Amino acid sequence: MKELFDQVSYKSSKLVTNSYSTSFSLATKMLSKPIRAHIYNIYGFVRFADEIVDTFHNYDKEELLNKFEEDYYSSKEIGISLNPILNSFIHTVNKFGISDAAVNAFLKSMRADLSKLEYKTQEEYEEYIYGSADVVGLMCLKVFVNGDQERFEKLKEPAMRLGSAFQKVNFLRDLKDDMELLNRSYFPNVNLKELDAKSKEQIINEIEEDFEYAFKNGILQLPVEAKFGVYMAYRYYRKLLKKLKATPSTKIMDTRIRISNPMKINLLARSYVKYKLNLI
C-alpha cells in the first residue's frame, strides 16, 4: 500500500532529524502535531544535501548531488520517490506550495560548497546565505501559515532574517571545522585565521540585529501552532551567540561552543513558562 510507504517515509525524515540534531528535533517537538511532520520532512531534505557536500569525502560529491537533484525533480513530476526522504519532502512541497525557485536556490548554495572556498564580497556572502538558510526559513513559513499568502508575505522578511541569524551563528561556531577540515571561509573581508576582536564584534552585532528584527516582526506574529517551537530554536541560538560573544576572538578557533543537554532542558522550561504567561 502506498499509504504504508508514505508512513515509512515520514518516519525516516523524523529519524534523520532526531539523529542529526538534538536541538532542532527538540524545537520541532514544540510545534503542533499537524505541522511537525512537515518540518521533519524539510529538515531531512536539506540535511541530506548538506551531508553530501560536507561529509562524504570518499565519494564523488558532485555526482551524488547531481543524482540527488535529478531524483528530486523526476520524482516530483511522477509523484513518488523510492528515496523515502525525497518522497516525504515532495509531499510537503506539494501540500504547501513550496516553489521550485526556493529549492533551486538551496541546491545552488549547496553546489557552491563543492568548489567555492572563499566569499570575498558582501553580495556573494548574502547570496550564499539566502540559498543555504533564508529559503529554508521560507519553506518552514509556508508550513506555518498553511496557505495564508497574506500572512506569508507579512512574515517573509523576518523568516529570512531568522534563517540568516541561525546560519551566521553556525559559521562562527564552526569556524575551526570550516577552515581546517573544509578549507572554507564565509565571512567576507575578515581574516578568520587571525580573527580580531573588532571583526568578531561586527559579526556579532550583525547577528544580533537579525535576531532582534526576526523576534519583534516575525516570531511574535507567528500562528500559535508554530510560535513556541520557533521561539525555542531562537532561544537556543541566542544562547549559542551569548557563549560565542563571551569567548575571546583568539580562542574561537580553539573552542567548540556547545549547549549542554541540561542547559537545553533549562531553556525549554523557562521558555515554556514565558509562553504560558503570554509573554511571547
Tell me the residue type at 62: E
Q: What is the pLDDT of residues 67-123, one digit of tens each?
A: 999 999 999 999 999 999 999 999 999 999 999 999 999 999 999 999 998 898 999
Distances (CA, A) of 98 to 95, 103, 264: 8, 8, 31
| Spatial contact of 133 and 125, defined as CB atoms under 8 Å apart | no
Q: How far is CA 201 from the centre of its chain?
A: 23
Q: Provide the pLDDT for residue 238.
A: 95
Say whether domain 2-276 belongs to CATH 3.40.50.620.
no
Distances (CA, A) of 34 to 97, 222, 226, 242, 248: 17, 15, 10, 33, 43
| Spatial contact of 143 and 96, defined as CB atoms under 8 Å apart | yes
CA distance 260 to 247: 16
CA distance 233 to 238: 9
% residues pLDDT > 70 (the chain): 98
Q: What is the pLDDT of residues 123-148, one digit of tens each?
A: 999 999 999 999 999 999 999 999 89
Question: Is 10 exposed, middle or buried, given 0-12, 13-18 or 19+ CB atoms closer than 10 A?
Answer: buried
Q: How many helices (H) and strands (E) does the chain have?
A: 13, 0
Q: What is the pLDDT of residues 172-218, one digit of tens each?
A: 998 888 877 788 889 888 877 778 888 889 999 999 999 999 999 99
CA distance 240 to 137: 19
Parse the chain into domains and list their residue ranges.
2-276
Look up residue 1 and give its three cell numbers.
500500500
